[in-house]
Structures are given as C-alpha cells and as structure tokens.
Amino acid sequence: MTTYYTKDHEWIAVDGNTGTVGITDYAQSQLGDITFVELPPEGSAVKQGDAPCVVDSVKAASDVYAPVSGTVSDVNDALADAPELVNTDAESGGWLFRVTLADAGELGALMDRAAYDDYVKGL
Amino acid sequence: MSAPNQAGWRPAMGEGGEAAVTQTASGDRGLMLEEPLIFELGRPGTCGIDMEEPAGAPVAGLAKFLRAEAPALPGLSEPETVRHYTRLSRQNYAIDLGPFPLGSCTMKHNPRLNEKMARLPGFADVHPLQPQHTVRGAIGVIVELAEWLVTLTGMHSVAMTPKAGAHGELCGLLCIRAALEARGDAREVILVPESAHGTNPATAAFAGYRVENIPATPDGRVDLAALKARLGPDVAAVMITNPNTCGLFERDMKAIADAVHAAGGLVYCDGANFNAIVGKVRPGDLGIDAMHINLHKTFSTPHGGGGPGSGPVVLSAALTPFAPLPFAQRTPDGTVRLIEEEDAPADHPQSFGRMTAFHGQMGMFTRALTYILSHGADGLRQVSEDAVLNANYVLRSLDDVLDAPFGKSGPCMHEALFSDEGLPDGFTTLDIAKGLIDEGFHPMTVYFPLVVHGAMLVEPTETESKAGLDRFITAMRSLAARARNADPSLKSAPHLAPRRRLDETLAARKPVLTWSGDQPRT
Amino acid sequence: MRYLPLTPAERADMLRTIGAGSVDELFVDVPPEARLPGPIAGLPGHASEMAVERHMTRLAADNLSATQAPFFLGAGAYRHHIPASVDHLIQRGEFLTAYTPYQPEIAQGTLQVLFEFQTQVARLFGTDVANASMYDGSTACWEAIAMAGRITRRKTAVLSGGLHPHYTATATTMARFTGDQLATSLPELSATPDDSAVIAAIDGETSCVVVQYPDVLGRIPDLAAIAAAAQSQGALVIAVVTEPVALGLIEAPGKLGADIVVGEGQSLGVGLQFGGPYLGLFGCREKFVRQMPGRLAGQTVDADGKRGFVLTLSTREQHIRREKATSNICTNSGLCALAFSIHMTLLGGDGLARLARINHARARATAEALAKVPGVSVLNDAYVNEFTVTLPRDARDVVRELADYGVLGGVSLGRLYPEASGLHNALLVTATETTSDEDIHALATILEAILVDTHEGAPT
C-alpha cells in the first residue's frame, strides 16, 4: 500500500485498485472542530478534481477534492455519529471514502509524504 | 439612643462585595436574571387571553378532519408572559443600550416616531387585497418612498417588493437576466470581487450564473485593468459594493461601469454601504444599472433581533420594464396604484414575475418614509458626513495600536477596517471581540471581509455621540494593550456577560433544535 | 437635527484629531463630478416630529381600515385580535434594536425566544423540527420545493390547484432558475378539493406534492391519502398552512404524513400591515434538518456549564457556503417571530383550540347568513374560518360596490386569478373572532341589496 498526497491536503492510500481517501492532520488542524461530514453516495462516479465530499466545521464548509477518478465503493459510516474522528484520527480512522480507481496513471501527479511535508512547511 | 441610617451603608460593609456571594438560592444574581423556557413554566390548560366558549357544533363536513386533542403547547397568564419576555429581553445587547459598531450593518438609532407611524390603523389594519381605491393612502406611502429612493440614487424606478437585501440582490439580477434575454444576448458569467459579501455569489449562482472572482489592488479596490482584461461577450454583469466591504470608495466606479457597458454587460451595485454616501453622491451618476437598498440599514428600520428587513431595488430606465409584480407607480394624472397580474399584460408586460405574495414590507416602508421625511435632503447629507467623520475618528484613534491595512492610503468611508497583524501569537481577533463584550459593547464585525486576515470592521454610524466613540476607543485601546501583553484572561473572555463562551461544536455535532423535555422524541 | 448627536465644536475637534481640514477631504476618493455640491435639489429639508406626524397621519386617514368597516378578507392574510401585551413587549429596545444573535453571550434573549418559537412551530405543525423563520409563507413554500428537489434528486413538483396563486407564482418565477418543473393547475369550484387529481399526478419523477391545508378556497384536503400516495412513489409531501389558527381545530399536517410543513404565521401577533412584514414558518422531519434553509437556534452549554443557545448548522447558509448555499436567505423575520411566540404563549394549546372553535363558529354564522341571500350559495362542505361563495355575477365588481357601502366583503377570485373567467363569480369570505353579528348583518343585507339588480342569466 502506498499513500499519496495532494496540494489540497487530501491523502489517498492505494491498495491494488482501491484508494482510501481522507484529509491530512494538517488540514484538520486548520479546520478546527469538525461538526459534520457530507459523504458521496456509494456507487457514484467521481472525476479527479471534483468535490464529492464536504467537511463542516462550526464556521466553515470545506470541499474535499477527489485525488483520482473512479467510483465510490464505500464511505466511513462511523462519521455520522462521530465526525470528531476526522480531528482525532485524520490519517487512519477518520478516513472519508473509498474509490475504485479508473486510471492509476493519475497518481503520478500526486506527492509522496516527503514532498507533502516540504509543501506544508512552505505554507 | 440608636444611630441614624440603620438600613444603609456602614463602613464595615466594605469587605467582600460580589465575591462574598458565590451562590444564590434562586440562581439569579441581583439584576442578572436567569429565565427558564416556556415549556418549563407553562401549562397547556392555561390561557392568558379571555375568550368565551362558542356555542354550536362544527359543520358536518369538518367532522373527519377534527383533531382529537388540543396542540401540546404551554400557556401562561398575562403577568407571567410579560415577566418571561421582559426577563429574556434583559439578556440582549441592543442599539438602545450602547454602540453597536458592526461593519456593513449600519446599526443606527431606530427612531420611535417610526414605530408610532407604522402603527396608525390606516397602515396597520389594512389588507393587501382590499380594492385599491380603499387604500390610496397606503399605496401613496409606497410611491412616495419610491420617489425619494429614486431621487436619492439618481435612478429611474424602484422594485419595492423584495423582502430583504439578499432578496433584493436576486431581484436585481433577475431584472438583468430578463433584460439580456429580451435582447437575445443571454450570457453566463457574473464577476464578483473577492471581498464581496457571501450573498453576492450565492445569489448569482442561484440565478443560474457562473461566478468568477475579480482580484483587488494592494490598496483594497477592484483591479480595473484585471477587470477589463476579463470582460467579454460571456459576462452578463459585475456585482460591485460601493463603498466596498473594506470601507473604501471605489474611485474607478465610473470607469468600471463604462468598461462593463462597453462590453455589453450590466452593473449591479450592492447598496449595503449606502449610508456612507446618501445625500452626497448618487450611485446613478456612477453608471450603475440596479442597486438594492437595505431599509434596515441606511433608513433606520429596526433589526428586531434578525429581521424583518426590506430590500427595494432602484433600477435604470432600461431595466424598469422587467421589474417584478406588483409594481408601484404614480400615473400621469397623479393617482397611485400597484400594477398586479390583472393589469400587467397591458401596463407592465415584460415583468419577470412575482417574487413573493402580496406587495412588500409595508411596515418597513412607513418607518423608512417617516425617517426620510424627518431628515430631509439636508439631514440625509449630514447623516453620511457624520457617519464618515465618526469612522475616520475611530480609525485615526486606533491605528497606532491596531493594524489598519488601508490606513496609509487615505481616509476610510463609513467604516474602519483593522487586521490581526501584530497581535502576539495565540491572540486573535476573536479574543479582542469577546473582550469587548466584557467592556460593555457589542463586538464589531469580525473575520469579514475575508480578504483581510483576522478582519475587524468597525462602523459607528452617525448616531454615535463623540462621548460614545471615546468610550469605545478607550475600551479598544485597553484590549489591544492586554493582547500585546499576552493577558491570558482575554483568551477566555467574556467573563461578565449573561453567558460565557458557548460550545458551538456541540451544538453543531448534536443539534438540539426543539424542547423535548415533556414529550417523547419521535 | 434630533437624531444626530455631534455638535459643530465636536466635529471640528474630531477633524483635528483626524488631521483633515474639512469633512469633504474625507470624501477625496469620490470623483469631484459625482460629489453633489449641496443637498439634493427638489427634495424637502428636515422636519420636526410634529410635521412628519401630520403628513403621515393624513396618508393613513386615506385608507378604509378593518377598524372602520365590517371586514371579511382572508386569502393568505388574516385579521385576528392581538393582545395588547404583544406589541408592548416587542417594542422593548432590547428586542426591537438588537441584531442577529451572532454573539450569543449577549444575545440569549433573542436565542431563547427563537428556540421556544422553533418548538412551538414544530409542535403546531406536527414536525420534528422547525427553523427560526423565513421571510413569509410564499418564499418558505418555494424553499421547501427546492429542498425537496435536493433531497429526492428529482425535478418535477406537483402543486395542487388549491395552493394560493401568489405562492404558485412565486415558485414559478424561482423554478426557472433551478430547473425544477412545476405541474400547476387551477382550483375547481367544487365542494371538496380534488385530491384524486393531485394523487393521479404523482409518479416516479415527482420530487414533491405541494398541498395547501386548508386550501385557497377554504376546503380541507385529505392529507393522509395524498401522503400515502406520495410515499409509495418516493415523493415528499409539502403541506402549506396559510392560517395557523386553523390548526387549533384540524389535525397537524406532520401527523398526517407531511414531510415538510410551511406556512404563514402572520395570523398570530403580526397583524395585516397591508402585506408585510410577515412571517414564514418552516418545519420538517429530523432527517432532513441539514437540508433545511434558514437560521436555526440550538441548545448547548457555556464554559460554566450553564444551558444556553446559539445559532447552529450555519454552514448551510450563504455567508459561508457562498455559491453552494442551501438558499440565499440572510434575514429571518425575527421581530415577527417574537410577536408570534408571545401571542402563542398567551394562548397555549387549549387557548388556540378555543380560538379556532370561535373562528369556525363566526364563519358558520356568516355562511348561514349569506346562504339566505338570493343568488348566493356556499360552496364548501367543510371549512375552518374561510369559505367560498358563488355569486350571480363577477365578484370583483361586487367587492368594489360593497366597499362603496363601507363593507370590506372578501377577496374575489377574479383578483387572484384574473385570467380564469370560470372562477370570476366566486368570492372568498373569512370570519374570525373579530367578526361581530353586526358585521355579518351588514354584509348580508348590503350584499342582498347589491345583488337584487342582477337578472338571472346576465352575461358574466
């Protein structure tokens, strides 16, 4: 399994043809207390750059962009009762949705951890 | 012989004060009164209104629709009701109590003559669907107010029906849309400055347009060159706030309007900040095509804890034919009327339709007209001058202790903008705002406009006395100093208000929106 | 000028602090050609309270008000007795001159009132939740249709013929921009509403069916039957209540299967005011709460653990979501919501039920009196306080003639539906607790006198 990162602070952990998507710990710290997560319907199609998911904090609603194109295969149902998982565990238990990749080649445009950490330092 | 003044103050009472009483049995503290919910106080069988039980049965046809039980709603006697709401009112800050320096809200004094006039039975107790000839006086108020608004703005007509500012923006954009469609030139894009209030892009998106941002110059105004570069046959309109949300006059307004018109587009002006220029500048002279006016801002109708508002829209001659129904008008022979659906095909055929039932916020029209007549042309001009003077006084009295991002480039208009630049780590605009509550003021607008970091937007309005401004300035200087000195108590302010900081995260994660204490939740 | 506290000496002092020579220097950014040299010509100057009062009183006197005439108008705005305390309480400066409660620590008065109001509306409507009010019933109705479209992801809304035509017109204007298709129709002049036509129009493409209850002619649709049909097709039911007093007598729409209930709260606390400001009411099922437009007050605790209230779920609103907001509403109708809430608190549930019974009794007495007038027949099998009569000729003319006799006799269907000539002989008549026997007698006798000149079979 390899994890890639985007400039919009999403991560995608790819295992075979499935990617698990979430937001980074840096992102959750910027957003403050997460109050609600609007997840995409299972089975819906997403294109790289779409915003199928919205993360609400008290005073803001932030779009989560799809790092790759594909079909939503699963969503994190635990977030309905415990949106705070995105704060406490953004990069594992606070995952948002899973996607079946349409084109693994899209991953080439994303960053690895070291590049993402450098990127965040420069912000 | 006993000493006089047995019941009054004695020197030995000096110790303790408020700290001596940590708990009261009642839960109240002096005049700081707690108040339960009506559901905790009232009983369904109680009624504070005397009514006789009617004789006779319902009509037969009603039988199958009758409810089995009365609604589960608590009632209170009149004394309990008056007490409940009076005690609640004391937990609110209000203009009547002190300065309310919210930028872009124009929280000016609400004259009580307005309230008296709105309650005259000839205005209060007439129905919108009475035959028009029985309500010529009420229609006359609408038309007279419309004529004032047209003259003050240098425009051609007014759509009076929008219920609030955002509703007015929608009205203006729908007129623009209708006008472009009528000339066979439907366009898809509306340009909006990044500093605009959220209603602008929201309204444009609702009206079916794609919204693109116009960048700003370093001195906080619309970048005219960037705008001109973007204009083209796909741009329907530009939405400009002038003065803008940074409290600055758009010097290039006429050039902006000319460029937009040359490219075939139209100019919508958000009139939320009209208080800065009313009576001194006519937006129509600057080339706008439509502008909504917030009667509850510039024209003193009360905010009422969140509404109602009123957002009439002044229109150019070219946009007038598309104004929504009903349309208020003075006919050539001087009579006043409202054009409704019956007469529209003959007299106002290109209207884009109706936006709401009936004909607008009449209660706000009587108040606004009363206010306008009280001030007159000279008074309104003085309003904008004093509003701008007060804001500049605040700006220059604080710009040595707070960062004013545009303070060096000239005067502000009716509101002064500060940022959180220079506040020590860990101290934010929010802390200053909450500290201001302890000082006895409502905070200024915070975190708006978004284009300035940690924005603090202060609009004193013209009804603030110099003494009131000086008190506010003293409090702000104290707060700035406490922040600079990293005073930790600021981080947990307010301490002295009826409530301390509230857990908004809990309210959003687990919303409790109704009382369920005496009811099973479904 | 009495509203401007600054003195000339203070202005001079402040200019010195600012470092400007005159106020005009502060307007330096305004192009000189746009800066007016003096007060706008042709407009009067400032005026004393006395002078303004004289002017406004003269305008007020040029109206025939419900205090001066027997009054039978309804059609979405109703005349009820508002207890004296309501108006006094809403004029307390802490309510009247307060702002939207964005700083909750010093706005618990407003916020607690909104929480109580939301609960009252939810219970009245029989819904789980309600919001802190909308502009009015017509815009609330449109917002509900848009919300149903978002929830069901379907595009066709069925609006029953019994929906107030202003509400239909408002929705029609707005739907052009969301792509919602509206199936609308005119009301039939029948004793009961045509529920089967509404049911027949529902299919798998229907997002919602919008049913006014009681309807524009005062009749009462079978909401339970319509809801069953809608649910079987996955469509939502939106009930529209323009007269909340009616809910003191007939069952709450939420209990009959309505998913969203909207309405006009003007009847309680607010007053006729020639059409506004009014009070939009909006309730829905709990599962839809994040799709609901408008402000919401929610319960929470403060740093000391004390119960308090805040505006919540704000991320739906346009000042945050901008282009993606659930609607573009900014203002609610706060002061009107307060007035409604105070009036409802004075009434209580039993009081509201009694008020509704009184309203119905007055309407029944009016209907019986009018039924005796030759040429007049009462249409409705059932009504609460508003019903329809048919006349032998165009009711618009009859209404004008009644007004000439100083009687405000109702709302003609021709006023509401100018293009539907088949409806033009019908008149909506409303009676409330304010309607006296003398009023009824005046209406019946003058109507009889006006109609006595009508020949049978005269052209309409």
* Counted domains in chain C: 2
Q: Which residues of A touch C314 (CB under 8 A)?
A: 58-59
Chains that touch C (3 or more CB pairs under 8 A): A, B
Mean confidence (pLDDT) of chain A: 94
Sort residue C7 into left (φ over 0), alpha (ψ -120 to 50) or beta.
Answer: beta
Distance CA C290, CA C314 (A): 10
Q: How confident is the model at residue B17 (pLDDT cuts 50, 70, 90)?
A: low
Q: Which of A63-77, A88-102, B72-86, C444-458 is least confident? A: C444-458
Test the C interface: residue of B31, B52, B115, B125 with most C CBs within 10 Å: B125
- Asked whether residue C360 falls in the same domain as residue C259, the answer is no
Task: Provide, as residue numbers in chain A, all residues whose Cβ is less than 8 Å from the Cβ of B508.
Answer: 35-36, 56, 58
pLDDT at B521: 33
Give domain status of residue C277, yes or no: yes
Spell out the residues 6+ positions from residue B13 whose beta carbon is closer than 8 angstroms to its own: none
Query: What average pLDDT does this structure show over A73-87?
Result: 95
Residue of B nearest to C82 (CA): B49
Which residue from C101, C322, C353 is facing B70, i.e. has the nearest CB?
C353
Host H or E run for residue B230: helix B224-230
**Reported ipTM exceeds the 0.90 cut:** yes
Query: What residue type is assigned to position B29 of the chain?
Result: R
Tokens 């002044």 found at = B314
Give the residue from chain A lying closest to B508, CA to CA: A35
Asked if pLDDT for residue B7 goes beyond 80, the answer is no
Chain C residues in contact with A38 by the CB 8 A cut-off are 290
pLDDT score, position C457: 45
- Examine residue C60 and state whether it is found in any structural domain, yes or no: no
Q: What is the DSSP letter of B155?
A: -
Say yes or no for a CB contact (<8 Å) between C335 and B201: no
Average pLDDT value over all residues in chain C: 95
| Banded model confidence at residue B18, pLDDT cuts 50, 70, 90 | low
In the block, residue with structure tokens 């007035």: C339
pLDDT greater than 80 at residue B20: no
pLDDT tens figures, B209-225: 999 999 999 889 999 99
In chain B, what residues touch A83 (CB-CB under 8 Å)? 509
Residue C299 in any domain: the answer is yes
d(CA C242, CA C218): 10
Contacts of A43 in chain C (CB under 8 A): none
Instruction: Give percent above pLDDT 90 in chain B.
Output: 88
Instruction: Tell me: do C357 and C336 sit in the same domain.
Output: no
Is the domain of C339 the same as that of C370?
no
Q: Which residues contact A51 (CB under 8 A, 6 or more apart)?
A: A63, A64, A65, A66
| Whether C319 and C200 share a structural domain | yes
Which chain A residues contact residue B504 at CB under 8 A?
A: 58
Is the CB of C314 inside 8 Å of chain A's CB atoms? yes
Instruction: Report the alpha-carbon distance of residue A1 to residue B203 in Å, rounded.
Output: 45
Q: Are residues C276 and C193 in the same domain?
A: yes
- C274 by DSSP, 3-state: which? helix
* B522 — pLDDT class (breaks 50, 70, 90): very low
Would you say C334 and C276 are in contact if contact means Cβ atoms under 8 Å apart?
no
In this complex, the residue of B96, B134, B174 whose CB is nearest that of residue C97 is B96
Q: Please, which residues have CB within 8 angstroms of residue B17's CB and are 6 or more apart in sequence?
A: none
Flag whether C326 is in a domain: yes
Please, which residues have CB within 8 angstroms of residue C447's CB and are 6 or more apart in sequence?
C370, C373, C376, C398, C402, C409
Q: What is the mean pLDDT of residues C61-84?
A: 97
CA distance C388 to C425: 10
Shared domain for C271 and C402, answered yes or no, is no
C170 within a domain of the structure (yes/no):
yes
Q: Summarize pLDDT for C374-433 with one digit per residue, the tens.
A: 999 999 999 999 999 999 999 999 999 999 999 999 999 999 999 999 999 999 999 999
- pLDDT category of residue B66 using cuts at 50, 70 and 90: very high
Q: What is the model's pLDDT at position C177? A: 84
**Distance in angstroms (rounded) separating the CA atoms of residues C294 and C290:** 10
- State whether A56 and C315 contact (CB < 8 Å): yes
Q: C360 and C328 in one domain?
A: no
Model confidence at B411: pLDDT above 80 = yes
- List all chains that touch chain A, counting a touch as 3 or more CB pairs closer than 8 Å: B, C
- Give a yes or no: residue C412 inside a domain: yes
Contacts of C48 (CB under 8 A, 6+ apart): none
Residue C460 in any domain: the answer is no
For residue range B235-272, what is the model confidence (pLDDT) as tens digits?
A: 999 999 999 999 999 999 999 999 999 999 999 999 99
pLDDT on residue C459: 47
Domain end call among C309, C326, C343? C343
Question: C286 and C374: one domain?
Answer: no
Q: Which domain holds residue C362?
A: 352-452
In terms of Cα–Cα distance, which of C60, C406, C346 is closest to B125?
C60
Structural domain contains residue C1? no
Mean pLDDT for C329-357 is: 94
Range of the domain at A47: 2-121
Residues of A in contact with C321 (CB under 8 A): 61
Q: For the domain that residue C371 is a member of, what is the CATH number? A: 3.90.1150.10
- Whether residues C303 and C405 share a domain: the answer is no
Tell me the pairing of strands C307-311 and C386-390. unpaired
Instruction: Determine the distance in angstroms separating the CA of C287 from the nearest CA of chain B, rounded to an integer.
Output: 11
- Give me the pLDDT at residue A61, please: 86
Tens of pLDDT along B361-378? 999 999 999 999 999 999
| Percent of all residues in chain B with a pLDDT value above 70, rounded to a whole number | 95
Q: What is the CATH number of the domain that holds C308?
A: 3.40.640.10
Q: Are residues C398 and C309 in the same domain?
A: no
Domain ends where: C343, C370, C391? C343
Q: What is the pLDDT of residues C48-63, one digit of tens each?
A: 999 999 999 999 999 9
pLDDT attached to residue B159: 98
Q: For chain A, what is the domain count?
A: 1
The stretch B431-443 carries a mean pLDDT of 97
Q: How many beta-carbon pairs below 8 A join chains A and C? A: 17
Q: Are residues C194 and C332 in the same domain?
A: yes
Interchain CB distance below 8 Å, B91 and C272 = no
With an 8 Å Cβ cutoff, are A58 and C314 in contact?
yes
Q: Does C308 touch chain B (CB under 8 A)?
A: yes
| pLDDT value for C458 | 44
- Residue B2 is predicted with a pLDDT of 54
Query: What is the rounded average pLDDT of the residues C186-193?
Result: 96
Nearest to B379 by CA among C3, C235, C206: C3
Strand intervals (E) in B277-326: 290-292, 313-315
Average pLDDT of B459-485?
Answer: 97
Is the same domain home to C337 and C358?
no
CATH code of A28's domain:
2.40.50.100
* Chosen domain end from C291, C320, C343: C343
Does B151 score more than 90 pLDDT? yes
